[in-house]
Amino acid sequence: MTVTATYGTNTCTAQQLADLLAERLPATFAERESDYFGAYFLATLANATRIKVQPNAVPGDDGEGDLLEDDHPEASVLLIVTAPAEAQLLDTELAAVSGLTQLRSPRN
């Protein structure tokens, strides 16, 4: 079983957030491209925790950006952490990142 936590920020770009997290965590982010998500950054930690950094607005069929987290339009960048249930979700490390707010957690 896995658990997921979602964070958001409007203080930096996806690239800047991935770079900042790479300095703080044992993670190397690779830039990826998806027809659905657009450009995003992905890192996998040794304990199989996956960290994805992406814009909240994704390419829409009509050429306009659609929000992945439409309940949080103020968050221009999303950070999604998916981890095995027994793994730590990096709450302490991510709480220290200025401007990063937890939007969803396995507890809510």
Tens digit of pLDDT at every position of the chain (108 positions): 888 999 999 999 999 999 999 999 989 999 999 888 889 999 999 888 999 999 998 876 665 678 888 899 999 999 999 998 877 768 888 888 999 999 998 765
Q: How many CB atoms lie within 10 A of CB 54?
A: 22
pTM of the model: 0.89
- Residue 35: closest CA among 58, 51, 1: 58
Domains of the chain with bracketed CATH = 2-104 (3.30.160.110)
Residues 6+ apart with CB under 8 A from 62: none
